[in-house]
């Protein structure tokens, strides 16, 4: 009987094959509306992917583009297949949101020269110079810094209310990788701009999305490292939930967690992808060119740029947070304040690697970063620059959109 | 006054009767009905959640898995991989050895192949040399991951389900360690490896996987049906004592069968590395080791019936993902999973009705009273 079952299934399959032609042709003769595809690593239950999905839908609605969204696409051959399938189905633009998608998207880009492909957090576009493959990111280190200022204000208020409060704060990173290192360092420098004696303990989960590991890491930081505030660069609700349970303030990423964590949500920084998607759709509509390597920036307010914050928490954040952040953001926009101002941090001991030189006090005087991707991860580009006032700083996201700051600075302990 | 004794009475409002021989076409009809009911329930849930019309759901389900040449190949490749994974599991399952470690075995085979590609590529070896090394490495790595729990089962009677399950986590841990070691930028993303790609047959990316699946299907069928090994593992599964009595080496049979099971998983890993992904992540096995358990159970461990069950799973998966979810803008994957789960539930539930008949009420004769009446 099993053999018969499987015969019938095959017959059904054959019938399906015959029947599918109809649906295929009808989709091709659809409207002339521009179609754009989004490929995400996880789904809207991940804060990271939700940030892309929301922005994509909003930009599509605004520009009259038809969105085609495929969630849960792993960083494998399936990413290439889905991208190619979107191209097959008339998408003029395909965007993928995860770092590991890049190679697979490049493969699709080479196969479909008439379709524009783009990828978040990737590093290859400025080297490959393909006409239809692009990268995009934002100066999110500035957003992280501002979130750090908000956390610093909170820490200061906690110390004023209770002098024995620990000045150590905690951070959960996904991978020990430039995007994450740049993020937590700028956040820490933001905190330290308010509380000089603050120190930070960083732990890694080695996964972009691991709810259990993120939750237990947060609990570990709170319990065993006496962290007064916890922040994270990972995509699940694990850390915010652990903080809410332990009543420890949490600085989050990619969007507000106030709905589920009303008592402990402090603030969140995020890349707002809407301006970028709008840029792409405009260029497609006008037959223009999409920027090869797009770096989004702070907007005119804290909330409307590519680098954006979400409103400070009603319960946890300090009352004058917004005002202080506006002051700092104004300086960042004017270029009078640099997040990675070399006078604001030191590097010492084994962290002074062969691509770094420091002066007697430990301030960085020269730093070669790995900007152009290669198999050996060569440190190829000098990134210490001086502004017009002679201030020396590390120019992050200037040589390419994706972050490359990878120094281990004093005050941060990795566990 | 004593009342007349009843000759018949109603008994047990609900009664299960084991079916002995349901005609094949009836069983088949039941199963098809179950799929149909499952799909109807699926439509209902989708209508509740996203106001999708049932006609559109069906149309998109089919177009998602078969709407273009690429989608057809993609669906059949997914089916082929699941079939391979199911085929890898059934020798162990027929031995009543519950191998839940397919994922880990696939991942180890994958890792072994990627290591050949990575180090061979750096050393500048020719492609054929790397491939010649990849094949035994993947087979061995998969087999090793299957044999370790088998040895513990054979000699210490350790619970094989827990053991194999645990081996999955160790395997993904090892992959993470490997990535941490070779990807010195810390991103955990290994770039696509250019060396050691398995040959592409006829300019078609998908064909090799399909052909290997057919070869494994033939091999496993012959192995289980006609070889002495196949006979021995079934006897061990039915009764270890019988096996011992007729002179089968039980320990050796367990170890040998799991080595085969693991090695076949290793082949899948090699295909992932050398014919599809050319890179590896801790999730590269995509839970195939678990999905294949369902593929195998639904087919009652019959290699050819698994053609049908693996097809069904691949069809539903791709139909939901590329068809229904995209068409209705569903970006919450839980919805897709719930809906597919409902269909599976119906398919599994129908096996109960195929094996048992439910009687709601039936008349039970009072034998004593009847004989008495007969005497009169």
Same topology between domain A31-139+273-296 and domain A140-272+300-414: yes
When mean pLDDT is compared across A17-31, A140-154, A247-261, B270-284, the lowest value belongs to: A17-31
Partners of B4 in beta bridges: none
CB within 8 Å: B70 and A370: no
Q: What does the alpha-carbon distance between residue A105 and residue A99 come to, in Å, rounded to a whole number? A: 11
pLDDT of residue A13 exceeding 80, the answer is: no
A375 neighbourhood in chain B, CB within 8 Å: 191
Q: Which of residues 356-395 of A touch B (CB under 8 A)?
A: 370, 373, 375, 377
The rounded Cα B4 to chain-centroid distance in angstroms is 61
Domain ranges, ordered by start, for chain A:
31-139+273-296, 140-272+300-414
Q: What does the alpha-carbon distance between residue A194 and residue A338 come to, in Å, rounded to a whole number? A: 15
Cβ-Cβ contacts under 8 Å between A and B: the total is 147
B322 neighbourhood in chain A, CB within 8 Å: 70, 82, 85
Residue B344 main-chain phi, psi, to 5 deg: -60, -40
CA distances from A255 to A170, A313, A324, A402 (A): 19, 12, 20, 20
Residue A265 main-chain phi, psi, to 5 deg: -65, 120
Interface contact A13, partner B, CB < 8 A: yes
CA distances from B325 to A77, B316, B329 (A): 20, 12, 6
pLDDT of residue A187 exceeding 70, the answer is: yes
DSSP string, B72-106: HHHHHHHHHHHHHHHHHHHHHHHTT-----HHHHH
Q: Which of A128, A123, A120 is nearest to A79 (CA)?
A: A120
Question: B138-141 contacts: CB < 8 A, separation 24 or more?
Answer: B138/B109, B138/B110, B138/B112, B138/B113, B138/B266, B138/B267, B138/B269, B138/B270, B138/B273, B139/B109, B139/B263, B139/B266, B139/B267, B139/B270, B140/B112, B140/B263, B140/B266, B141/B108, B141/B109, B141/B111, B141/B112, B141/B266, B141/B269
Cβ count near A75 (within 10 Å): 25
Q: Which of B27, B75, B186, B282 to mutate to test the interface with A (most CBs of A within 10 A)?
A: B186
With CA atoms as reference, the chain B residue closest to A99 would be B189
- The region, left, alpha or beta by phi > 0 then psi within -120 to 50, assigned to residue A254 is left
Nearest Cα of chain B lies from the Cα of A22 at a distance, in angstroms, of 9
Query: What integer pLDDT is reported at residue A12 of this predicted model?
Result: 45
Q: What does the alpha-carbon distance between residue B14 and residue B16 come to, in Å, rounded to a whole number? A: 7
Count H helices, E strands: chain B?
A: 15, 4
Query: What integer pLDDT is reported at residue B17 of this predicted model?
Result: 81
pLDDT averaged over chain A? 90
Residues 6+ apart with CB under 8 A from A151: A169, A187, A190, A191, A229, A231, A249, A251, A266, A267
Q: What does the alpha-carbon distance between residue B162 and residue B244 come to, in Å, rounded to a whole number? A: 26
CATH for A140-272+300-414, options being 3.40.50.720, 3.60.15.10, 3.60.21.10, 3.40.50.2300: 3.40.50.2300
CATH for A31-139+273-296, options being 3.40.50.2300, 3.40.640.10, 3.50.50.60, 3.30.470.20: 3.40.50.2300
Nearest Cβ partner of A75 from B281, B307, B334? B281
Nearest Cβ partner of B28 from A5, A84, A88? A5
Q: Over the stretch A216-260, which tens digit does the pLDDT of each residue have?
A: 999 999 999 999 999 999 888 999 999 999 999 999 998 899 999
Q: Would you give per-residue pLDDT tens digits along chain B (376 residues)?
A: 455 667 777 666 677 788 877 888 888 898 889 999 999 999 999 999 888 899 999 999 999 999 999 999 999 999 999 999 999 999 999 999 999 999 999 999 999 999 999 999 999 999 999 999 999 999 999 999 999 999 999 999 999 999 999 999 999 999 999 999 999 888 889 999 999 999 998 888 899 999 999 999 999 999 999 999 999 999 999 999 999 999 999 999 999 999 999 999 999 999 999 999 999 999 999 999 999 999 999 898 999 999 999 999 999 999 999 999 999 989 888 888 899 999 999 988 998 888 888 777 667 777 777 787 777 6
Q: What does the alpha-carbon distance between residue A13 and residue B319 come to, in Å, rounded to a whole number? A: 13
A104 neighbourhood in chain B, CB within 8 Å: 192
Look at the pTM and tell me if it is higher than 0.90: no
Q: Over the stretch A172-184, which tens digit does the pLDDT of each residue have?
A: 999 999 999 999 9
A207 neighbourhood in chain B, CB within 8 Å: 282
Interface contact A19, partner B, CB < 8 A: yes
Q: Which of residues 182-241 of A touch B (CB under 8 A)?
A: 206-207
Nearest Cβ partner of B284 from A42, A76, A377? A76
CB within 8 Å: B28 and A74: no
Query: What integer pLDDT is reported at residue A10 of this predicted model?
Result: 45
CA distances from B365 to B11, B13, B219, B281, B373 (A): 10, 15, 55, 67, 12
- The region, left, alpha or beta by phi > 0 then psi within -120 to 50, assigned to residue A229 is beta
With CA atoms as reference, the chain B residue closest to A87 would be B70
Nearest Cβ partner of B333 from A27, A71, A206? A71
Interface contact A90, partner B, CB < 8 A: no
Q: What does the alpha-carbon distance between residue B73 and residue A305 come to, in Å, rounded to a whole number? A: 43
With CA atoms as reference, the chain B residue closest to A204 would be B186
Q: Which of A3, A7, A13 to mutate to test the interface with B (most CBs of B within 10 A)?
A: A13
Strands, E, within chain B: which ranges?
Answer: 8-11, 15-18, 356-359, 362-365
CB within 8 Å: A24 and B63: yes
């Amino acid at each position: 009987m099993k053999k018969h079952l499987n015969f019938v299934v095959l017959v059904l399959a054959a019938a399906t094959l015959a029947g599918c032609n109809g649906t295929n042709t009808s989709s091709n003769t659809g409207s002339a509306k521009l179609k754009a595809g989004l490929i995400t690593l996880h789904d809207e239950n991940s804060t990271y992917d939700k940030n892309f999905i929301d922005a994509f839908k909003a930009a599509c609605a605004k520009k009259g583009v038809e969105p085609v969204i495929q969630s849960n696409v792993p960083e494998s051959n399936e990413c290439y297949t889905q991208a190619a399938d979107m191209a097959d189905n008339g998408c003029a633009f395909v965007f993928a949101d995860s770092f590991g998608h890049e190679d697979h998207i490049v493969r699709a880009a080479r196969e479909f020269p008439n379709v524009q492909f783009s990828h978040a957090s990737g590093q290859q576009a400025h080297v490959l110079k393909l006409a239809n493959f692009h990268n995009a990111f934002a100066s999110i280190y500035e957003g992280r810094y501002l979130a750090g200022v908000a956390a610093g204000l909170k820490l200061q208020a906690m110390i004023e209310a209770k002098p024995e409060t620990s000045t150590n704060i905690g951070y959960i990173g996904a991978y020990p990788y430039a995007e994450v290192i740049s993020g937590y360092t700028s956040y820490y420098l933001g905190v330290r701009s308010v509380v000089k004696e603050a120190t930070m303990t960083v732990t890694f989960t080695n996964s972009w999305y691991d709810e259990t590991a993120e939750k237990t890491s947060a609990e570990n930081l709170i319990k065993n490292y006496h962290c007064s505030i916890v922040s994270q660069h990972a995509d699940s609700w694990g850390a915010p939930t652990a903080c809410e349970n332990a009543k420890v303030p949490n600085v989050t990423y990619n969007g507000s967690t106030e709905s589920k964590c009303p008592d402990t949500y402090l603030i969140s920084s995020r890349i707002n992808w809407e301006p970028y998607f709008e840029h792409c759709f405009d260029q497609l509509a006008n037959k223009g060119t999409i920027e090869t390597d797009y770096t989004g920036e702070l907007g005119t307010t804290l909330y409307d740029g590519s680098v954006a914050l979400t409103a400070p928490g009603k319960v946890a954040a300090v009352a004058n947070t917004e005002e202080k952040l506006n002051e700092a953001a104004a300086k960042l926009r004017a270029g009078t304040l640099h997040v990675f101002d070399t006078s604001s941090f030191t590097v010492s001991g084994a962290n002074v690697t062969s691509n770094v030189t420091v002066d007697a006090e430990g301030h960085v005087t020269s730093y070669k970063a790995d900007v152009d991707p290669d198999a050996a991860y060569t440190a190829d580009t000098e990134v210490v620059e001086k502004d017009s006032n002679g201030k020396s700083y590390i120019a992050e996201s200037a040589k390419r959109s994706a972050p490359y700051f990878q120094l281990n600075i004093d005050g941060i302990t990795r566990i | 006054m004593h009342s007349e004794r009843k000759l018949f009475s109603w008994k047990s409002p609900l009664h299960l009767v084991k079916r002995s021989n349901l005609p094949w076409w009836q069983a088949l009809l039941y199963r098809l009905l179950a799929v149909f009911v499952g799909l109807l329930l699926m439509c209902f849930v989708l209508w509740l959640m996203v106001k999708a019309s049932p006609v559109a759901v069906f149309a998109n389900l089919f177009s998602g898995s078969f709407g273009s040449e690429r989608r057809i190949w993609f669906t059949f490749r997914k089916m082929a991989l699941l079939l391979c994974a199911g085929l890898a599991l059934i020798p162990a399952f027929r031995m009543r050895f519950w191998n839940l470690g397919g994922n880990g075995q696939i991942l180890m085979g994958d890792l072994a192949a990627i290591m050949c590609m990575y180090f061979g590529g750096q050393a500048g070896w020719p492609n054929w040399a790397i491939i010649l090394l990849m094949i035994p490495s993947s087979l061995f790595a998969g087999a090793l991951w299957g044999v370790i729990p088998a040895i513990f089962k054979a000699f210490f009677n350790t619970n094989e389900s827990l053991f194999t399950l645990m081996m999955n986590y160790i395997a993904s841990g090892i992959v993470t360690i490997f990535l941490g070691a070779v990807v010195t930028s810390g991103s955990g993303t290994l770039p696509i490896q250019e060396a050691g790609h398995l040959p592409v047959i006829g300019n078609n990316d998908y064909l090799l996987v399909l052909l290997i699946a057919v070869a494994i299907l033939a091999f496993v069928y012959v192995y289980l049906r006609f070889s002495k090994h196949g006979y021995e593992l079934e006897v061990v599964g039915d009764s270890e004592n019988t096996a011992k009595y007729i002179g089968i080496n039980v320990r050796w049979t367990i170890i040998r069968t799991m080595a085969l099971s693991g090695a076949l998983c290793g082949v899948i890993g090699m295909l992932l590395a050398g014919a599809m992904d050319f890179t590896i992540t801790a999730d590269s096995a995509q839970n195939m080791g678990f999905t294949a358990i369902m593929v195998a159970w639904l087919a009652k461990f019959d290699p050819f019936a698994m053609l049908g069950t693996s097809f069904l799973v691949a069809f539903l998966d791709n139909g939901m993902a590329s068809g229904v979810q995209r068409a209705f803008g569903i970006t919450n994957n839980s919805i897709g999973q719930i809906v597919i789960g409902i269909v599976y539930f119906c398919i599994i539930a129908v096996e109960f009705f195929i094996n048992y008949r439910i009687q709601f009420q039936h008349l039970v004769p009072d034998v004593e009273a009847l004989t008495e009446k007969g005497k009169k």
